[in-house]
Amino acid sequence: MIEHTPQGLYCRAADAWIDPWRPVPRALITHAHADHARAGCGEYWAVDLSEGVMRQRLGQDITFHPVRYGEEIWLGQCKVSFHSAGHVLGSAQIRLEVDHEVWLVSGDYKRDSDPSCDAFEPVRCDVLITEATFGLPIYRWQSGAAVARDIRDWWQGDRNRPSLLFCYAFGKAQRLLAELQAIGVEEEVLLHGAVETVTRHYRDAGVPMTPSRPVSELPRKETLAGRLVLAPPSAHRSSWMRRFKTPQTGFASGWMAVRGARRRRGYERGFVLSDHADWAGLVRTVRESGARKVYVTHGQSEVLARYLQESEGIDAEPLETLFEGESD
């Protein structure tokens, strides 16, 4: 049903590409991260909750067709529906059905509880296309609440310096604000401009988060000692950091589970928090899908495919795409 073309994954029955990496007439989009939603397409079909971020990133004048979770639409000879992926605001798995055969393109997904977006919805299918960003057994996540408590203790344990926590501007930063709010943090958090622009869409969607405002609104003479600031990794060691006096620095990412990653990236502290499924979540998702055939994309695709073949008895193989996994 789905073909691998130079523009990306193509469903002929719907005459549509799923998360294409080149401009196409009709794109079905799993979520608004840059490696899945690219500019230049004729029309975009995606979950309604993602519209604000999509227009911010791709242009206010794009032709956008909003779809609700679970809503069934017909495109040509294909019945299409979008189901929550639990990844970021408005993220979806895309279900395509033709002649009673069901394919599911998972996009990026997460199985852990996350107060900033809808929970993952298991979907049965015949053929599954799954990510494998963290497709190694070493990747096993703690709860977001546990990580939020560690961040709170790190931040509030040193009130003499600003605490700069670097995280991806779309998804990770807003999850952190929501996780902090959920554990009772009411103190205002400061945001880099790139984080603030996306956070507005989460607030518009009614996501409960701890209070925040752009750091640019504060007078430059303020030392910001004792304040928590969220910023994208691109701001690390940039001229933007000059306004902070001897800050302590941290990075929140699933990659912090790898020994030495924090040191190589130059952060004082690492917090293991990901918006992707860990090893157990990936295997669980494949099992729950009931798929007879699994294609594994970006990340540790060969490792996961081999495991599914040898340990689960599932016909699985890697599928080369241009998706990047956990990045900004």
pLDDT digits (tens, 9 = 90+) for 75-88: 999 999 999 999 99
Q: Which two tokens stand for residue 82?
A: 């979008």
Same domain, 115 and 190: no
pLDDT of 296 > 90? The answer is: yes
Number of domains making up the chain: 2
Contact 129, 11 (CB under 8 A): no
pLDDT of 4 > 70? The answer is: yes
Q: What is the pLDDT of residue 325?
A: 73
DSSP annotation of 74: E
Lowest average pLDDT, out of 54-58, 126-130, 234-238, goes to 234-238
Residue 328 lies in a domain: no
Question: What value does the mean pLDDT of the chain take?
Answer: 96
pTM of the entire structure?
0.96
Give me the mean pLDDT over the 60-77 stretch. Answer: 98
Q: What is the pLDDT of residue 264?
A: 64
Residue 267 lies in a domain: yes
Same domain, 6 and 130: yes
pLDDT of 208 > 60? The answer is: yes
Residue 126 lies in a domain: yes
Residue 202 lies in a domain: yes
Residue 291 lies in a domain: yes
Give me the mean pLDDT over the 291-301 stretch. Answer: 96
Same domain, 109 and 153: no
pLDDT of 16 > 90? The answer is: yes
Same domain, 288 and 261: no
Same domain, 258 and 288: no
d(CA 130, CA 283): 10
Same domain, 134 and 154: no
Same domain, 131 and 210: no
Burial of 56 from C-beta contacts in 10 A (0-12 / 13-18 / 19+): middle
Same domain, 45 and 128: yes
d(CA 140, CA 132): 13
Side-chain half-sphere of 41: how many Cα atoms within 13 Å?
Answer: 29
Q: What is the pLDDT of residue 266?
A: 83
Nearest to 163 by CA among 245, 95, 84, 282: 245
**Residue 223: pLDDT band with limits 50, 70, 90:** confident
Structural domain of 168:
144-271
Lowest average pLDDT, out of 118-122, 168-172, 242-246, goes to 242-246
Same domain, 129 and 151: no
* Amino acid letter for position 11: C
Cα 110 to chain centroid distance, Å, stands at 8
Find the CATH number of the domain harbouring 188: 3.40.50
pLDDT digits (tens, 9 = 90+) for 146-156: 999 999 999 99
d(CA 280, CA 225): 40
Residue 10 lies in a domain: yes
pLDDT of 305 > 90? The answer is: yes
Nearest to 271 by CA among 312, 303, 228: 228
Share of the chain above pLDDT 70, in %: 98
Same domain, 159 and 75: no
Same domain, 129 and 157: no
Find the CATH number of the domain harbouring 292: 3.60.15.10
pLDDT of 320 > 80? The answer is: yes
pLDDT digits (tens, 9 = 90+) for 241-277: 999 989 999 999 999 998 766 666 789 999 999 999 9
Contact 120, 84 (CB under 8 A): yes
Residue 327 lies in a domain: no
Same domain, 104 and 187: no
Residue 324 lies in a domain: no
